[in-house]
Structure 1
Amino acid sequence: MICQRYTSLIKIQIKRLFNHIFPYLFFLSYFLIPIYCGIKFYSPQIIKFIVLIYFFCACAVFVLLKQAKKKKYLFSIENEKLTEDINILNGKIKTHSIITSVLGDKIRRYSALKALTEKLVQKVSLDDTADLILTKAYTLIAHSKGRAILYLVDTKKQELNFFASYGGVSSVKDTRETVGARGADVFDDWIFKHQVPLLIEDTKKDFRFDAKVSFKAQHPIGSLISTPLIVGKRIVGILRLEDEKISSFSSDDLRFLSVFSDLAALSLDNSKLYEHTQHLAITDGLTGLYLRQYFMVCLNAAIKETINTGVAFSILMIDIDRFKKYNDKFGHISGDIVLGRIAKVLMKECPREGAILSRYGGEEFIVLLSGIDKTGAVKIAEKLRKKIAQEKIVLRRTKTHVTVSIGISTCPEDGRLADELLKISDIYLYKAKQKGRNGTCFC
């Protein structure tokens, strides 16, 4: 390889030398050949003839060399121009390819956004809507890396509450014990206060938060992009994407997130409104407990489950003792206060899992205890009865106490039909009243 390279270089140098020396050798021969011929033949005519021929030949060669040099010069200029045009075209091709790639990505994103709109129309549950928004934000904006986090605003307290997240190591929906355990941080508080989108390429170097980032996050944050979810003039939440690496998000991601957030905010607000409306349809406005109609639906479902699995459940029917006396003495508004306070005690003291609390009618309440047999139901009933009796209620500046009587029935021990179980609970309730009130009865 080295010999071939040096051989080619030598050939190039010889060619250049020949191109430069040849004209001079030709003109030198213009003088040498006539002299040689004149010495050899001693003829002036021959010398003149040869000189004349050489003169014309020299002129012809000079003209040809001049034209060749000019053509070579023009060719080099044309070659440089063509090279420049090729470079410009290559640059344009590269630019167009980048633009095509970017436009293709935008088209893909906005096409997915259109499909997301169609899917969100079909979602009414807040959990389903949030899951869909998080997964799409994770894939379309975060490019399936880092984490997507959703905070919702508690309208009563006007504070951010963690709702759900998606991504991380397992790329699944996180729980409150993981990402949400730390709650909102300085970035979320800043967005909640200013209600504008936020892009941070490096959390350690951003002058707005460098001095404030003092919390110890379970997941290191290198960069993040976040936006408020606004409906009208109300902020309903914050959608945030974060990654451990720096510069994971761009300004184009922020622009797309702003469009995405408008759709997400409206969908979440509609889902919250739907759930609130649904809640109002099945709950009592005074006590906040479920209405009788919804309780009956839950009771029938519990009976079917008990028949299939054999797992027992119990019913507590609760009635306020001498409720009419409170109404007559303190007025109907005071009666409403009593109902509300007892409902709060029931919600606080009943098991949080598997308990359905309902206002059965008037001053009666009913509780369904899933997976609780007769013995367990009696313990819970006694606990509730004592807590209610200890509750201090102020009616027209007068401290008073109320008591309740409780009847207990258990499925399948006392029956396998809803009407049968309710009838037995009612019978035991009135037995408790006949025994002097402020007691429980189960047999």
Structure 2
Amino acid sequence: MSPNGHLFMAYLTHPSIVASLAFVSFLIAVSFIQKKNKKEYSLKAELEDLQGRINIASQQLEVEESRSRALRFKLRRYDALSLFTEKLNQNLSLDDTLAMLLGQTLILLGHEKTICMVYSVDSSSGEVVLEAAKNNTTEYSFVKGKDSDMFNQWVVKHMQPLLVEDTVNDFRFDIKKLKTAAAFPIGSLIACCLVSQNSPRGIVRLDSPYAKSFTLEDLRVLNTIADIASVAIDNARYYQHLKELVVKDSLTALYTRAFILEKLKEELQRVNSATGGLAVMMIDIDYFKQYNDLYGHVAGDSVLKNLSAWLGGYIKPKNAHLGRYGGEEFLIIVPSCTKQEGFSLAETIRSFVQEKKMMVRRKATAITVSIGVAHCPQDAASLLELLHKADTALYEAKKLGRNRVCLF
């Protein structure tokens, strides 16, 4: 080694130089570690920031998907409402209208064990009557009749939609006072008034045995249904009234001559030996002309109306048809009836009318009737022949002194 080399080595091995070099190396190492740690910290911060953004984006996506699902659900509901409106407005039968209202309301808003009910409200008395009901199972049955519970009373009084999320905790109502609560528990309900000409005419209502089954959005949908149904039910009732004007006599509210003869034609087509046949009764008020002349036409009309009400009430349970044949004559058709059964029923009717009283000019007055009975197929098979023979039997009853029944 040269002198210079020895000198350099001596320099490097000098204690102060060695210490300096070690310190510099330490500083370099510390700087490197700091840079490395800083880089790792920066990467970690960036990763956490990225993860946070991903979480926020994921939450926003969930919110948007939830909104999208809710929107699609609403669209499906309103599409169904549109179709429901179209079908309902095409229907003019009141029974069919109510059946469609129940079915579609359950489809749109029904949950497990939900019951949908439609009530009518009497415009003069305010009495609430259950007209129709349905649920999502086949085991539910209802009895048509008065049903003015606290919830219905509230809807009729306020004419506003009602949402009760929890009947037990709703301060407006005391569920313990509800008589049907034990048999038909109500956990929650929604109800809307059917309004016509600014008056309550009915209620559409959904009951659930569970609390919080319905939402405010459900109530909005039911309110829309109620608005649609109010118009449809009004139209159906108006159509039914027009139909009754055609088939019902304006004075007695019985079937007109044309309609009762159409009924007879239908029943004659069903006659067979297994049913026992069909009886026809021709009824005439005895001495009606003299009564009319003595008391006047107003009193005569009163006699016709009273007799019509008596006859209608008497034969209603017997599945018979009653119509005003003309003037003071009435026609009764009794399906699935033998000739002897027809005679017995006619005799019972004659006796029943004889015992009834009506007030005319503040005086209790009685009337009597004569009845002729003919039978299909025993006496005749055709409509005209059957009527002719019943009329012949009636003529015989009047000839024999009136207030009696004669068979052909």
* Residues 212/265 of structure 1: CA separation in 2 closer, same or farther (3 Å cut): farther
* Residues 337/331 of structure 1: CA separation in 2 closer, same or farther (3 Å cut): same
* Residues 149/211 of structure 1: CA separation in 2 closer, same or farther (3 Å cut): closer
Task: Kindly provide the CA deviation profile for residues 364-405 of structure 1, in whole angstroms up to 9, marking residues without a partner as x.
Answer: 111111112221211221222122222223323343222111
User: Does the 8 Å CA contact 2:334/2:342 hold for their aligned counterparts?
Assistant: yes
Determine which of 308, 319, 343 is the counterpart of 1:354.
319
Partner of residue 280, structure 2 = 315
* Residue 245 (structure 1) shift: 1.3
Partner of residue 205, structure 1 = 169
User: Does the 8 Å CA contact 2:321/2:332 hold for their aligned counterparts?
Assistant: yes
Residue 117 (1) aligns with residue 85 (2): yes
Residue 382 (1) aligns with residue 350 (2): no
Q: How does 1:110-259 map to 2 (within 5 A)?
A: 110-167=78-135, 169-170=137-138, 174-176=141-143, 180=144, 183-210=147-174, 213-217=177-181, 218-259=183-224
CA distance, structure 1, for counterparts of residue 187 and residue 12 of structure 2: 99
SS in 2 for 1:204: coil
* Residue 146 (structure 1) shift: 1.8
Partner of residue 248, structure 2 = 283
User: Does the 8 Å CA contact 2:113/2:137 hold for their aligned counterparts?
Assistant: no
Q: Which segments of 5 or more consecutive residues in structure 2 lack a partner in the other structure?
A: 1-7
* Amino acid across the alignment from 2:177: V
Partner of residue 405, structure 2 = 440
Moved more, 340-349 or 48-57: 48-57
* Residues 212/274 of structure 1: CA separation in 2 closer, same or farther (3 Å cut): farther
* Residue 182 (structure 1) shift: 7.2
CA distance, structure 2, for counterparts of residue 103 and residue 211 of structure 1: 35
Determine which of 43, 46, 64 is the counterpart of 1:96.
64
Residue 81 (1) aligns with residue 45 (2): no
CA distance, structure 1, for counterparts of residue 127 and residue 365 of structure 2: 36
Q: What root-mean-square deviation, in Å, do the aligned CA atoms of Structure 1 and Structure 2 show? A: 2.3
CA distance, structure 2, for counterparts of residue 308 and residue 401 of structure 1: 39
CA distance, structure 2, for counterparts of residue 258 and residue 186 of structure 1: 19
Partner of residue 61, structure 1 = 29
CA distance, structure 2, for counterparts of residue 302 and residue 146 of structure 1: 41
User: Does the 8 Å CA contact 2:115/2:134 hold for their aligned counterparts?
Assistant: yes
Task: Kindly provide the CA deviation profile for residues 337-368 of structure 1, in whole angstroms up to 9, marking residues without a partner as x.
Answer: 11111111101222424211101111111111
* Residue 325 (structure 1) shift: 0.8
* Residue 214 (structure 1) shift: 3.6
SS in 2 for 1:247: coil
* Residues 53/379 of structure 1: CA separation in 2 closer, same or farther (3 Å cut): same
* Residue 240 (structure 1) shift: 1.1
Q: How many residues align?
A: 399
Determine which of 292, 298, 301 is the counterpart of 1:327.
292
Q: How does 1:332-411 map to 2 (within 5 A)?
A: 332-411=297-376
* Residue 71 (structure 1) shift: 2.2
Q: How does 1:10-21 map to 2 (within 5 A)?
A: none
SS in 1 for 2:118: strand
Partner of residue 24, structure 1 = none
* Residue 239 (structure 1) shift: 0.9
User: Does the 8 Å CA contact 1:138/1:145 hold for their aligned counterparts?
Assistant: no
Moved more, 202-211 or 287-296: 202-211
* Residue 126 (structure 1) shift: 1.3
* Residue 422 (structure 1) shift: 0.5
Task: Kindly provide the CA deviation profile for residues 227-277 of structure 1, in whole angstroms up to 9, marking residues without a partner as x.
Answer: 111134122211111111111111111111111111122212211221121
Task: Kindly provide the CA deviation profile for residues 133-186 of structure 1, in whole angstroms up to 9, marking residues without a partner as x.
Answer: 1111112112353211111123354311111111165266x331xxx5673322
* Amino acid across the alignment from 2:278: F
User: Does the 8 Å CA contact 1:354/1:371 hold for their aligned counterparts?
Assistant: no
SS in 1 for 2:331: strand
Moved more, 245-254 or 391-400: 391-400
* Residues 181/327 of structure 1: CA separation in 2 closer, same or farther (3 Å cut): closer
Partner of residue 36, structure 1 = none
Determine which of 229, 232, 235 is the counterpart of 1:267.
232
CA distance, structure 2, for counterparts of residue 342 and residue 206 of structure 1: 53
* Residue 57 (structure 1) shift: 4.4
SS in 1 for 2:177: coil
User: Does the 8 Å CA contact 1:151/1:163 hold for their aligned counterparts?
Assistant: yes
CA distance, structure 1, for counterparts of residue 162 and residue 117 of structure 2: 14
SS in 2 for 1:350: helix
User: Does the 8 Å CA contact 1:315/1:368 hold for their aligned counterparts?
Assistant: yes
Moved more, 408-417 or 377-386: 377-386
CA distance, structure 2, for counterparts of residue 161 and residue 402 of structure 1: 36
